[in-house]
Amino acid sequence: MVISKPSVQMLTVSENAHGQRLDNFLFTAFKSVPKSLIYKNIRTGNIRVNKKRCKPEQKLQSGDMLRIPPFRQAEKIQLKPDIRWVNLLKQRIIYEDEHLLAINKPAGLAAHSGSGIAYGVIEVLQQTFPEQKFLQLAHRLDRDTSGCLLIAKNRTILLELQNLFRSNKIKKIYWALTKGRWKTEACRVSLPLYKNINQSGERMVKVVETGKEAITDFKVIQNFGVVSLMEVSLKTGRTHQIRVHAAESQHPLAGDEKYGDKDFNKLMHHIGLKRLFLHAARLEFSLVSLGKTFLIQAPLEIDLQRVLQNLEK
């Protein structure tokens, strides 16, 4: 840890931060400073906007001048991503323009850093393309899930995409390999989900009547004996939604170590599956600000293609 020398800072709000809440802006700019300390400095007037006292919820404007007090902060030394991830993500760009970037995220790499995770996709991209002053995740994918991941290049597009995801106005299609044959070629699973974090910090999701609404559509693509390849469409975006709904329907996902079937997973491992068989295959959405409709597709991973080839044999 490196301790920075305290001094008053004057920060100018950029166009990318236009419209952002003051507290959220400060949380991002000073990640190692406790939120309670930031709120205290706002409340006491040590943090000011354009030389005036302010409130946490105040919306910032491009060009605003912020006074930041000389609170001492411990700055984390940012770990340099493994060059293998850097090279891999460069090869996995499936769409890019001046507003957004789409990556075919590999399984095994988290979307972002966190507890016990030094870096994820967004940190790798930010260090790989330092000329891009704004790169932020528009949504998340689980570490073990591969496929379409959207990154915004400016705050306007970020907010628009986040709003589309929240209001379920983005069509999300996944491919999943599940245990058994489904009774019908297509079905809808509507079961409320509740997210719980146990003492070890692990996220677990359960079906609970008082949970949040969750709707998933399953459609058979191909049957392989007692295994089914499914097209999955999310109508809501809850944590582990596909995995929990599939397991509750008695058709757990292949390779799912948390909600799946151990014996089934052993069988699939013998066939060549080394990970969770869940892939974000397609995203469809429209950005009103650009007057444009997008269809982002990520090809199925080679390792998953080989599993399907082994099943056909």
Q: What CATH number did the domain enclosing 65 receive?
A: 3.10.290.10
Q: Are residues 187 and 293 in the same domain?
A: yes
Shared domain for 175 and 59, answered yes or no, is no
* Boundary residue ending a domain (75, 98, 116): 75
Summarize the confidence of residues 50-71 as an average pLDDT.
Answer: 89
Region 19-36 average pLDDT: 83
At 313 the pLDDT is 82
Query: Catalytic residue among 142, 144, 256, 261, which?
Result: 142
Q: Are residues 263 and 156 in the same domain?
A: no
What's the total number of domains in the chain? Answer: 3
Q: Measure the CA dihedral 110/116/118/120, to 10°.
A: 10
* Residue 142's CATH number: 3.30.2350.10
Rounded to two decimals, the pTM is 0.78
At residue 294, φ and ψ (nearest 5 deg) are: -115, 140
Say which range, 41-45, 111-115, 225-229, has the weakest mean pLDDT: 111-115
pLDDT digits (tens, 9 = 90+) for 68-110: 888 665 444 455 777 888 888 999 999 999 999 999 999 998 8
**Are 11 and 105 members of one domain?**
no
Q: What is the mean pLDDT of residues 273-279?
A: 97
On whether both 71 and 145 belong to a single domain, the answer is no
| Long-range CB contact pairs, 204-207, < 8 A, 24+ | 204/258, 205/238, 205/239, 205/240, 205/241, 205/243, 205/244, 206/244, 207/244, 207/248
Examine the domain organization and report whether 177 and 307 are in the same domain. Answer: yes
- What pLDDT, on a 0 to 100 scale, did the predictor assign at position 201? 60
Give CA–CA dist 133/120, Å, rounded.
18
**Catalytic-residue membership of 142:** yes
- C-beta separation of 193 from 207 below 8 A: yes
| Residues 154 and 288 placed together within one structural domain of the fold | no
pLDDT for 75 equals 46
Average pLDDT of the residues in 299-304 = 95
Is pLDDT above 50 for 1? no
Of 116, 132, 164, the last residue of a domain is: 164
pLDDT digits (tens, 9 = 90+) for 163-217: 999 999 999 999 999 999 999 999 999 999 998 866 556 778 999 999 999 999 9
Same-domain pairing of 186 and 285: yes
Question: Tell me, what amino acid is at 210?
Answer: T
Q: Are residues 265 and 214 in the same domain?
A: yes
Which of 75, 109, 129 terminates a domain? The answer is 75
Read off the pLDDT of residues 232-241 as tens digits, 9 standing for 90 and up.
999 999 999 9
**Residue 27: predicted pLDDT:** 83
Return d(Cα 112, Cα 108) in angstroms, integer. 12
**25 and 89: one domain?**
no
Q: Are 283 and 292 in contact (CB under 8 A)?
A: no
pLDDT for residue 156 is more than 80: yes
Q: For residue 170, with 0-12 CB atoms within 10 Å meaning exposed, 13-18 middle and 19 or more buried, which class applies?
A: buried
Q: What range does the domain containing 238 cover?
A: 170-312
The first and second tokens of residue 123, run together, are 């940190």
Residues 180 and 156 in one domain: no
State whether 121 and 35 are in the same domain.
no
Give the model's pLDDT for residue 206: 93
Q: What is the mean pLDDT of residues 54-63?
A: 90
